[in-house]
Structure 1
Amino acid sequence: MGPRVVLVEPQNAANVGFVARVLANFGLCDWALVRGVEWRGSEAERTGAMARERLEAARRVDSLEQAAAGCTHLVGFSARPGRHRRLLALPALRAEVEPWGPEARPALIFGREDRGLDAAETERCSLLVTIPAAELASFNLSHAVAVALYEWFRGSAAPPPAAQGVSWAPAKERERLAARTRAELEAASFPGTGELEGTLRRLAARPMEARDLRVLEKVLRHAQYLRERHG
């Protein structure tokens, strides 16, 4: 299964049509638009005329959380690193994602044409990827999607045996775990809870096997039980 493509607040309708064509080039149908320009009755109908079915398939949502619902790994594309986050060069992406295995449900996240993804959006991403460039660092939106998908599918092969059958925790469950951890620490008057905020955001953003998430949930339940029992 290929990745989901998410465009965050696209501003140029023509780009939306071109991205629809790119998705058709790679045989993908799963994509979402987080707010942004309305493509119906716009230039997108001309630039995406050869991929009308893809245009019709685009889901329009109000938040990145809705766009990535059900996805286990969020791969953000940016020319700027996030806070305390490194940028992975696109040619290294394949080696990074192969261990995820066939159970992974990745989403490729692309930002606005003029300023890309904001800090809060990059914090939600499991990986931040940059497309190497010689001079001008930013790519046209549809070009970035095309280059990213080419690299994603280039030389793709079956995952190694160790990755077979891995079940990944969806992003929403990781976020719920981070929120519950924060609440439990505050309830226990843990010193320096605020200093852990970045750690908890990274916990929610990074891939996690479902079995590991279940273990951590058990730890939290036991911690809550002990706290309530001993006051």
Structure 2
Amino acid sequence: MADLPVRIVLLRPRNPENLGAAARAMKNFGLSDWAIAALGTHDFAAARRVAVHAEDLLDRPRLVASLDEAVADCAWVVGTSSRAVRGKRRLAPDAVAREALERAAEGRTAIVFGDERSGLTNEEVHRCHDLSAIPTGEAQPSVNLAQAVLLYAYEVRRAALAAAPARPAKAPEGATDAELERVEDALREALRTAGFLAGPERHAVRDLAAALRRARLSRREARLWLAALRTLGRG
């Protein structure tokens, strides 16, 4: 099976056994792309004891400093959180997997997991394009990090196996997260110049930018938006 277009992103993982178990889960279901931001442990010996037959993933982790760096080249960023946030969809894991494959021609999907103790911060939740949560029972809603990675990896694999072999015509390449961030910055500047943002920004720019993200802009469209907004901003 071809490389699956999904990157697992772990933020501030502290437990080395979780690293090893997450690597094993990825290998189980055919995922190899992962990024670790602000790694909280360097006990790779303990991680290797758990990463049975997935030691090669531990030998080449992509270590980054921030969520921004981890997802800059991804077209769709999904945060795992049970919170409800206005303007962001909340998808079940299987829906994330299906849409990730549908978006494969546009670019990679990042599935983002927060640290073991507190998950994603509010800022990180807002940074993601959409959200997803595992529908757990009320008696124990919290899922171990490595177990959560396994469940999403399983759903991606299942969706890939169920997908029809025929693919539609090549879709335009989707705008990356970094390109969408530049569009949002240009939008903010244009609105300030026009007097729309006379006071504190609050949620206006974020909500407007969220609508652009939902539109799934192509790279060409993102460049056009950026040029137009920068022209307006100079007005």
TM-score bin (small chain): 0.7 to 0.9
1:48-87 equivalence runs, <5 A: 48-87=51-90
Q: Does 1:152 find its partner at 2:160?
A: no
Deviation at 1:84, TM superposition (A): 4.7
RMSD: 2.4
Match of 1:109 among 98, 108, 112: 112
Match of 2:145 among 141, 144, 164: 141
Taking the aligned partners of 1:71 and 1:22, their CA distance within structure 2 comes to 21
Q: Does 1:198 find its partner at 2:198?
A: no
Q: Return the TM-score normalized by structure 1.
A: 0.86
1:30-70 CA-partner distances (Å, limit 9, x unpaired):
21111132234552121125321110111121100111131
2:22 counterpart residue number: 19
**Percent of counterpart pairs with the same letter?**
34
Q: Does 1:10 find its partner at 2:13?
A: yes
Match of 2:232 among 223, 228, 231: 223
Change over 3 Å in CA distance of 1:76–1:167 after alignment to 2 = same
Q: Structure 2 stretches of 5 or more lacking a match?
A: none
Whether the 8 Å CA contact 2:16–2:47 is kept in 1: the answer is: yes
Whether the 8 Å CA contact 1:101–1:166 is kept in 2: the answer is: no
Whether the 8 Å CA contact 2:15–2:41 is kept in 1: the answer is: no
Match of 1:35 among 30, 35, 38: 38
Taking the aligned partners of 1:224 and 1:117, their CA distance within structure 2 comes to 33
